[in-house]
Amino acid sequence: MSDNQAPLYGVMAAFDSPDALIAASKAVVKAGYSKFDTYTPFPVHGIEKAMNLKPSPLPWLVLCGGVFGAIAGFSLQTWVSVKGYALVISGKPLFSYQAFVPVTFELMILFSAFATVFGMFAINKLPQFYHPVFTQPCFESVTTDGFFLVIESADPNFELAAVRQFLEKNGGQNIVDVRDEG
């Protein structure tokens, strides 16, 4: 399939600086586009606000992982002490929860860490070996000094000529059509 026959993924534009990218992102949101993304070589403070992104669900995943780990650790120790291996040692009660605190805490931290790592991978759709923007030669500079914005063709307001003109008006350079060749 040639490049002209591959379906259009979107239109990509390069920007000079993080500030120019933030300004363009604000303009894109103000213009009513909802399906777009930005690519930068380092985290850009304020880009998520400029893109009008909703908060990440990751903190809730971490909380759930921690609560699950704490409950699992405490429950396992309780079962072992009271039912599984009920041994009276030095007249202490079978359910001696004070001794359970260190293991409960450590399992809470462990499950929170697992929820963080695997939740982050799932939310960010990683690992991602192919994405249509990876095929653009100019996109290689995103790892060093490139700042890019892509408006996807799946956006309800997308019209190729209008998007190209809009990006150029807002400081976009090297505006290219991105085709999904995968």
What whole-number distance in Å separates Cα of residue 111 and Cα of residue 109? 6
The secondary structure of residue 80, as a DSSP letter, is I
**Residue 4 confidence class, pLDDT cut points 50, 70, 90:** low
Average pLDDT over residues 32-36: 96
User: 82 pLDDT exceeds 90?
Assistant: yes
Contacts of 29 (CB under 8 A, 6+ apart): 50, 51, 52
Compute the distance between CA of residue 163 and CA of residue 126 in angstroms, rounded to an integer. 29
Q: Write out the two tokens for 54.
A: 């909703």
The token pair at 119 is: 């939740």
Share of the chain above pLDDT 90, in %: 91
Residues 92-107 have pLDDT tens digits of 899 989 999 999 999 9
- To the nearest 10°, report the CA torsion of 100, 103, 109, 113: -140
Domains, the chain, ordered by start = 8-49+134-179 (3.30.70), 58-123 (no CATH)
Tens-place pLDDT, residues 106-127 = 999 999 999 999 999 999 999 9
The pLDDT of residue 86 is above 80: yes
Q: What is the mean pLDDT of the chain?
A: 94
Q: What pLDDT band is residue 3 in, cutting at 50, 70 and 90?
A: very low
Residue 173 vs residue 181, higher pLDDT? 173
Q: Give the pLDDT confidence score for residue 92 in this predicted structure.
A: 86
Residue 50 reports pLDDT greater than 50: yes
